[in-house]
Structure 1
Amino acid sequence: MRWIALVAAFSVVAACDTPTDTAPKPAPTTTKSTVSRLSVDQATKRLGPIKRRMEPIAESECRARTSGANCDFRISVDQRRDVPANAYQSVDSNGRPQITFTAALISDVQNDHELAFVMGHEAAHHIAGHLNRQQADAAAGALIVGVLAGLAGANAATLDAAMDAGALVGSRAYSKNYELEADRLGTVITKKSGYDPVRGAQYFTRIPDPGNVFLGTHPPNNQRIQTVRQTAAKM
């Protein structure tokens, strides 16, 4: 059962040294770039043709697979300079889904297929509702561990720490599954847009492999590549 898994996971966390920072950290997106770093303007220009081709496909898949979700994607380049290679999905204050790339990531990809796959993957996170699901997972973890700590007689400070740890465990409990879900749907979006998701997934061969780490945020790279290949072969 879900609460048993969370309690077991919390027991492992509690047995470790107390971390100095309990906030979840994303896995490194790539190694240090060996290519010339594009400026924000250059990165925006390179992203443009792929965005124009993929955005209507992503929005169509969003409308077909959701009910009442905001499917008006805003795809842009992070305006900050010298931020690490990354791409992420978020939602603005009006509920509009955002897909943001850093210039470093756009500099690092070797072809349009890789950039398209990353875009499809991030769009898939929104379509699958992963942000809301992860927030619910964190809340459930905090509640379960908080109740257990309260029953054990924890004081206020210990209770707060326990709930923080429970939220961390809860937020990561299904994180790998969410990434694989996004890889599968991202493969569909990428291929329907006319790009090759199998070539796109080669990006995973050049970034650090997180391995199969307990409570890690991302699955092993070879598992992700295999997921993309299997999904593409069925289309």
Structure 2
Amino acid sequence: MTLALGRLLSPVLALCGLLAGCGTTYDMPGVDKAATNRAGILFAQAQVAPPRSPASARTGEERFNRVARRVQPVAEQLCRQELAPSKQVDCAVALELDRTMAERNAYFTYAKPGNKAPVIRLTVPMLQDVESDDEVAFILGHEYGHLIGQHIAKQQQQAMAGALILGAITAYGNAQAAAAGQSHDPNAISRSVELGAAVGQVAYSQTYELESDMLGTRIAAAAGYDPVKGAQFFARSESTRSKAGQLSFWGTHPPDSKRLAMVIATMAEIEGKQALARK
């Protein structure tokens, strides 16, 4: 390895370490065969469930407000418990209806730059499609999981690391080509930076979703809901969902059966701890 290459790769390797450190915050419950089998059964049952007509927008809004009143204080308490004040995380999340999006969706975002003013929004078509308060509770808990897991901040770090890694590698390649008198693409670095940022941002997307499922299970259960019943919303096939809008929730999400198995495993862990506490 030349000295120049070593100097280049040192920060690149450091950034790779940063990217690798952007995984989950929590140890995930082990998903055993029993959880996988039960998830498969529930998933199959949900897929063959008869179609249902969507609820009215008013019914969906009433359900949202009813569930939000119970879930919000539980989720905020967990957020404050899990995130030290030194991390400067705002746990006072605004729960809002998105009346503009025609798709089924639920999402966590920030209303102000700098990761300020956290917001969870559910679209009206999503609320028209749910079948129970348990489903809304799990959806809200899942979105809170993104805040508690600090997934947006981690994805921002990943995007920066990915951009710098690929940009540095491409710059080195261009320099080597120029030294050898070979032609090179002057726009290659900017394209590599964009590609690296995109790859970095989605590097742990599926892992974050599973972590949010685990945290959402804890929140929904603590609020008095059934997370396993709630998570079955995601197992219903497209053919059995109402046509109030197209589902836009799963672009970077793990397979639904795997997610349901994670919820089942998390509930088994919760119930196991509760049983020990009663002894």
Task: Please state whether the residue corresponding to 1:219 is helix, strand or coil.
Answer: coil
Aligned in 2, Cα 1:42/1:199: closer, same or farther, shift over 3 Å? Answer: closer
Identify the match of residue 70 of structure 1 among 90, 104, 107.
90
Matches within 5 A, 1:32-71: 35-36=53-54, 38-39=56-57, 41-68=58-85, 69-71=89-91
Partner of 1:226: 261
Q: Is the 8 A contact 1:37 1:104 kept in 2?
A: no
Identify the match of residue 152 of structure 1 among 173, 187, 204.
173
Q: Is the 8 A contact 1:37 1:103 kept in 2?
A: no
Partner of 2:136: 115
Task: Provide the aligned C-alpha RMSD in A.
Answer: 2.1
Residue correspondences, number: 199
- Residues 5-60 of structure 1 show CA distances to partners (whole Å, capped at 9, x for unaligned) of x8xxxxxxxxxxxxxxxxxxxxxxxxxx9633633x55332211100000000000
CA distance in 2, matches of 1:192, 1:218: 25
Q: Is the 8 A contact 1:145 1:163 kept in 2?
A: yes
Identify the match of residue 85 of structure 1 among 100, 104, 129.
104
Task: Kindly indicate which of the two structures has a greater share of residues assigned to helix.
Answer: 2
Q: Deviation of residue 3 (structure 1)?
A: 3.2
Output the amino acid matched with 1:129: Q
Higher RCO (Cα < 8 Å, 6 or more apart)? 2
Moved over 4 A (4+): none
Question: Structure 1 unaligned runs (5+)?
Answer: 7-32, 209-215
1:199 matched to 2:236: no
Instruction: Choose 1 or 2 for highest CA Rg.
Output: 2
Question: Structure 2 unaligned runs (5+)?
Answer: 1-12, 20-50, 175-183, 239-250, 271-279
CA distance in 1, matches of 2:171, 2:112: 35
Output the amino acid matched with 2:109: S
- Residues 170-218 of structure 1 show CA distances to partners (whole Å, capped at 9, x for unaligned) of 111111110111000110000000000000110121156xxxxxxx711
Task: Please state whether the residue corresponding to 1:96 is helix, strand or coil.
Answer: strand
CA distance in 2, matches of 1:207, 1:61: 32
CA distance in 2, matches of 1:35, 1:102: 17
Q: Is the 8 A contact 2:217 2:263 kept in 1?
A: yes
